[in-house]
A and B are shown apart, each in its own frame.
Chain A
Amino acid sequence: MITIEAAIAATRFGLGPRTGEMAAIISPEKWLLAQLSNDRQEEPSLKGLPRTQTIVSEYLSTFGGEKRSRRREPTSEQRQALQKKLAAIYRREASARFHAGLETKNPFRERLVHFWSDHFTVSITKPILSGFVGAFEREAIRPHVTGRFEDLLMAACRHPAMILYLDNHTSIGPNSPAGRRGNRGLNENLAREILELHTLGVNGGYRQKDVTNFAKVLTGWTFTGPDSRFGGKVGEFQFVWQLHEPGSHRILGKSYRENGINQPAKVLRDIANHPSTARHIALKMARYFIADDPGKGVVGRLEEAFLESRGDLRHVTETLVRSPEAWAPEQKKFKQPFEYILSTLRAVPAVEVEDDKILGVLSLMGQRTFSAPSPAGWPDETLFWASPDGIMRRVEWSNALSHRLRKLPSYEDLIAESLGPLASEKLKKVASRAENRRQALALVFASPEFMRR
């Protein structure tokens, strides 16, 4: 007998059950907590993908390095060739990410990767990022989802993908050696988004002055381009003092003296552990897993867990799993398109859908992989995704999927294996009266209980 808690664990916290998954969950809480231990194996589909360093040195060198004097404007053929190579990496990465979600035995951990990857969004809406978004998630996010928040923040902000996405490689201290030679200067994009989106939150108590000063502190926080202009290893993070704005700077009422890379690193560690950050992360996480309005109780507990453990994400996540709100039977969250598509495919035996087709369907549903519209990531509210167009695409997908299955499970089995106790009596009745077997399966995929979690 499958309990409602097992179904919730697999659906609300996981990616939807695979055949046999719910039946094997003896203790739902333990099943989730076990996925948080740090000795988990890498997802097989992610093996053999290129590292950021390789991508930078092999591909960006098309542009002859970043140094202007040596740089020749690439021809349009070179430009197209580069974009094509980056697009090929992107497709491999998107496909690997999809397969990790489809095949994983640790779906809760995978959801945490999705959550934190979205929290630290980098997006192919900036075309150069096509080559880097996948590597970013694998290198900066995956290793830290149950580690310390400050380490995760540091890894995300040091990664070339984030630096490129939020322009910090172009931000130069006006009084730095480089700044005094030319007329270039600050770019506050990264500084603002770290404060607003990654740490304190928009109402976290910072002012414009804090943004400007933090931008000064972050000058020189960059990575080594293909020409190694300031030394360093190609494609790796580098702090370049020649670009850094000298002096002490005041942020959130505290003065940070000049101390090389330790100055920005100190600011990052301080804001990572700020009470506003704890509040911001607590609300966002509870909202992602439980409900658009998760209630003060669980948010307060997560906030406290964050503060008392100095941002130990494993402890925070355990607190989430142990909260009674997490197990309320009502399915309040509406799956995002990526999660919805994954859950339909996890519910059926292997189905032949080309990876590019999946990417196409996700585009139709408005959630092409790694293409969030802004640094804030994907909206998470039900009203955004449960749009008329969004519902109709799910209906069409359910229909298309039911026609693609070679081996048809019975609708009773599909309901039992994919929804179990979450299935309503009405769904069972409607499916039993379907015109044919494929239509019965489509009704299950398109049911409210399948779209929600």
Chain B
Amino acid sequence: MWSRRSLLKSAGAVSLTLGFLPWLSFSATTVERRFVFVILRGAMDGLAAVPPLGDPGYRKARGSIALGRSDTLELDGFFAIHKSLRFLHEAFKDGELSIFHAIATPYRERSHFDGQDILENGGIRALGLKTGWLGRALDSEALTSKSATGLAISQSMPMVFWGSANATSWAPSVMPDAAQGLLERLSYLYEDDPLIETAFQNALAADAIAPDMSMMGSGGRRGLLGNFTTAAKAAGAFLSQQDGPTFAVLEITGWDTHANQGTGSGQLANNLEALDGGLKTLKQTLGKTWAGTTVFVATEFGRTAAANGSGGTDHGTGSAAFLLGGAVNGGRIIVDWPGLKSSQLYEGRDLRPTLDMRAPLKGVLHDFLEIPTAELSGIVFPNSALVKGLKDLTRG
């Protein structure tokens, strides 16, 4: 039984009398739109996910791991999409998916960890910022005025949300719920430790509207996260509620394919299939909320154009990213293709980035979530005035 909502309300009531709400509440939001950020940790090979089969340099550059027509589904005659991404292919045809290619964050080295930090902190240096761009977007005037909230389906807090008290994290547990009496006492005990207090209160808020995982076919009394599809299902269950979070973050690992990545089948194909299946589940679980949803799928950087000595690829630069959802003005591949001849490659080895990751993100945050440009260029993505947000990525 869910016994926590009442505690949440009483805690909220106390705070209201003090004139402020130090932690988030899911009951107040007036935002109907939803934005989901999916982080592919480990550097997804964009040249395998969305191969440029029409580029004469493709087969030569990739060698043994080049994909053929039978490994892919057609997009526009030049680009194809890996056949494991069946749902994304359908979404493209239905106008609900835009693909960005030769895209990268401002990061130009090849460390996963710095690369992921920059993907999440929205800056240009790994240690430059210790808060996340999605957290800063959540704390923007445009969204706080509507009491928007964020939720990561995760056992820890991803950096992209760091710094915002309006973000929470949630993962299912199989341990018994703590009794009301204990929670009330802890609520009082934690008042002297703001970090723990905010986290605790935000956990209670998430629990109060959490789906019953055992009803979602994932086993156990309250179930477990298990795989990406389960996480996507949980995210969908939160987001589809009227007072659900505006932002959600999902993560999927396993993209660091240094050896035997495979072609139409194999390690990478399996991971793409997991991603595709999860995104399909997200759409299904969202139901009618899907129409007001955009999902951005991104990775920290791409992989080498050429296969390495072990049938895999090493760390590279440019990759692909996806913008998916019922609110997406899709069916487009947005790219300034740099080519794959060795003279065209970045440092002679990687797909050269021609699109800054911040451009589509700023476009979506501006058009879809109505965050003003000045705030986007100064705070959400600091000093990014020169990177213009892409227009018309979303509908309405």
Residues of A within 8 A of B (CB): 125, 166-167, 170-172, 174, 179, 183-189, 192, 196, 202, 208, 211, 360-361, 364-366, 373-374, 376, 379, 382-393, 395-400, 424, 426-427, 430, 433-435, 439, 442-443, 446-448, 451
Rank and list the top 6 A-B pairs by shortest CB-CB distance, nearest first: A185-B309, A366-B155, A388-B203, A170-B310, A387-B157, A396-B175
Question: What are 7 A-B contacts defined by CB distance under 8 Å?
Answer: A125-B254, A364-B224, A376-B112, A386-B195, A393-B173, A397-B175, A448-B193
Q: B1 at interface (Cβ–Cβ under 8 A)?
A: no
CB distance from B197 to the nearest CB of A (A): 9
> Interface readout for B169-189 with A: 1 if CB under 8 Å, 0 if not?
111011111110111011011
* Cβ-defined partner of B157 (8 Å) among A383, A435, A442: A383
Q: In the bound complex, how far is the Cα of B157 from the Cα of A385, in angstroms?
A: 7
Q: In the bound complex, how far is the Cα of B114 from the Cα of A202, in angstroms?
A: 8
**Contact B110 A395, beta carbon cutoff 8 Å:** no
Q: In the bound complex, how far is the Cα of B222 from the Cα of A396, in angstroms?
A: 13
**Contact B176 A388, beta carbon cutoff 8 Å:** no
B contact residues around A361 at 8 Å (CB): 175
Q: B336 at interface (Cβ–Cβ under 8 A)?
A: no
Q: B2 at interface (Cβ–Cβ under 8 A)?
A: no
User: Given A386-B199, A395-B183, is A167 in contact with B156 using a C-beta cutoff of 8 Å?
Assistant: no
CB distance from A289 to the nearest CB of B (A): 19
Among residues 248 to 296 in chain B, which have CB atoms less than 8 Å away from a CB atom of chain A?
A: 253-254, 256, 258-259
CB distance from A447 to the nearest CB of B (A): 6
Residues of B within 8 A of A (CB): 41-42, 63-64, 109-114, 126, 130, 152, 154-157, 159, 162, 168-171, 173-179, 181-183, 185-186, 188-190, 192-193, 195-196, 199-200, 202-204, 206-207, 224, 253-254, 256, 258-259, 308-310, 312, 314-315, 347, 349
**Contact B176 A400, beta carbon cutoff 8 Å:** yes
User: Given A388-B206, A399-B176, is A448 in contact with B199 using a C-beta cutoff of 8 Å?
Assistant: no
User: Given A374-B256, A448-B189, is A392 in contact with B200 using a C-beta cutoff of 8 Å?
Assistant: yes
Closest B-chain residue to A403, C-beta based? B176
A contact residues around B196 at 8 Å (CB): 386, 391, 448, 451
Q: In the bound complex, how far is the Cα of B308 from the Cα of A446, in angstroms?
A: 49
Q: In the bound complex, how far is the Cα of B295 from the Cα of A241, in angstroms?
A: 50
**Contact B202 A439, beta carbon cutoff 8 Å:** no
**Contact B173 A443, beta carbon cutoff 8 Å:** no
**Contact A365 B259, beta carbon cutoff 8 Å:** no
* Cβ-defined partner of B176 (8 Å) among A167, A396, A448: A396
CB distance from A417 to the nearest CB of B (A): 20
**Contact A390 B155, beta carbon cutoff 8 Å:** yes
CB distance from A14 to the nearest CB of B (A): 22
User: Given A187-B312, A202-B114, A430-B189, is A396 in contact with B173 using a C-beta cutoff of 8 Å?
Assistant: yes
User: Given A382-B195, A384-B157, A395-B186, is A373 in contact with B259 using a C-beta cutoff of 8 Å?
Assistant: no
**Contact B185 A167, beta carbon cutoff 8 Å:** no
Closest A-chain residue to B125, C-beta based? A203
* Cβ-defined partner of A396 (8 Å) among B130, B157, B169, B177: B177
User: Given A387-B199, A391-B199, A399-B182, is A426 in contact with B189 using a C-beta cutoff of 8 Å?
Assistant: yes
User: Given A379-B156, A426-B189, is A392 in contact with B207 using a C-beta cutoff of 8 Å?
Assistant: yes
User: Given A188-B308, A374-B113, is A365 in contact with B155 using a C-beta cutoff of 8 Å?
Assistant: yes
Q: In the bound complex, how far is the Cα of B360 from the Cα of A365, in angstroms?
A: 34
**Contact A202 B192, beta carbon cutoff 8 Å:** no
**Contact B111 A443, beta carbon cutoff 8 Å:** no
* Cβ-defined partner of A400 (8 Å) among B126, B175, B188: B175
